Amino acid sequence: MSEILAELRGVSRSYQKGKEKVEVLHELDMDIPVGDFVAIMGPSGSGKTTLLNMLGGLDRPTSGTVKVGGAELSSMSNNQLSNWRSTHVGFVFQFYNLLPVLTAQKNVELPLLLTNFSAKERAERAAIALDIVGLADRARHRPAELSGGQEQRVAIARAIVSDPTLLLCDEPTGDLDRETADEILKLLQVLNSEHGKTIVMVTHDAQAAEYAKRTLHVDKGQLESRAAA
């Protein structure tokens, strides 16, 4: 694999729990090439979400460096991180996290409110994103009127609407049945292979991990690489 998109060096993250200091990540090194689709597996509480938060600029390491697309996230201010996230990364969560008061269309348009696009351009781009995830006909529905799989598709549309290079998915199929989960995973594959998105997906489901190009295992705050099955 060629060019490196994300590079973690000696990343540690510890939390203060009462008087105790808990180290969730311990001097972790990781490289993610452009165009990768990597699954991250590991037991519950092993630090998978924490790792994803580092990659997405939602959290900073206690020590070590996080570089994504040439940007040194570990040294950015909150506002710099906000700006960076709005253009470089899309997030997909287990529970979709759509705004219940907005239609699918308006949910997808949200990230574009931070750009200079006109209302018309925002609507057009959101329509394209909804089309890519196969939900063009549900644009005017509220989240409550959609199935779980459809909600997750809207969330994916929202994650790709500002055309970021990196997609971070935290248990994206954790709340879906097998069949729906497979559809969502296929959609992620398409986004990876046809739309050139680099994808990092946290999952505890081995079957889901099979859709990725490779799988990394997190244990005791460190990575251990194994060949994908």
Partner 1 sequence: MRYFGLIWRSAWRKKIRTLLTILSVFVAFLLFFLLNAIGQAMTGGGATIESASRLVVIHKVSLINPLPISYLNKIAAVPGVDRVSHATWFGGYYQDPKQQFGQFPIDPDEYLPIYPELEIPEEQLEAFRTTRTGAIVGASLAETYGFEIGDRVPLHAMWPQQDGSETWEFDIVGIMTNTSKGGSDAMFLFRYDYFDEARLWSKGNVGWYVLTLSPGANPVEVANAIDAQFANSPAETKTSTEDAFARSFMEQMGNIALIVQLILGAVFFTLLLVTGNTMAQSVRERIGELAVLKTLGFRDQAVLGIVLAESILIIVIGGMFGLLAGAGLLAAVSDTFSAMIGVGLSVSSQSLVLGIAIMLVAGILSGIFPALQAMRLTIVDALARG
Ligand X SMILES: Nc1ncnc2c1ncn2[C@@H]1O[C@H](COP(=O)(O)OP(=O)(O)O)[C@@H](O)[C@H]1O
- Binding stretches for Mg ion (CB under 5 A): 49
Residue nearer to partner 1 on the CB measure, 85 or 138: 85
Q: Give the Cα separation of 93 and 53 in Å (integer).
A: 12
> Among residues 37, 38, 74, 91, which is the contact residue for partner 1, using CB under 8 A?
91
With beta carbons less than 8 A apart as the criterion, state whether 170 and 49 touch.
yes
With beta carbons less than 8 A apart as the criterion, state whether 7 and 202 touch.
no
Residue nearer to partner 1 on the CB measure, 37 or 93: 93
Residue 100, token pair as written in the block:
């219940």
| Per CB under 8 A, 101 contacts partner 1 | yes
Q: Give the Cα separation of 79 and 129 in Å (integer).
A: 26
Give min distance, CB of 112 to ligand X, in A: 29
**Which residues are bridge partners to 107 per DSSP?**
none
Q: Give the Cα separation of 124 and 100 in Å (integer).
A: 22
Q: Which does 158 bind (CB under 5 to 8 A by kind): Mg ion, partner 1, ligand X, none?
A: partner 1
| Per CB under 8 A, 34 contacts partner 1 | no
Residue nearer to ligand X on the CB measure, 47 or 56: 47
Site for partner 1 in 43-82 (CB under 8 A): 49, 53, 56, 58-59, 78-79, 82
Give the pairing type, strands 166-170 and 198-202. parallel
Q: Give the Cα separation of 91 and 53 in Å (integer).
A: 10
- Residues in the site for partner 1, rule: CB under 8 A? 49, 53, 56, 58-59, 78-79, 82-87, 91, 93, 95, 97, 99-102, 106, 110-111, 113-114, 119, 158
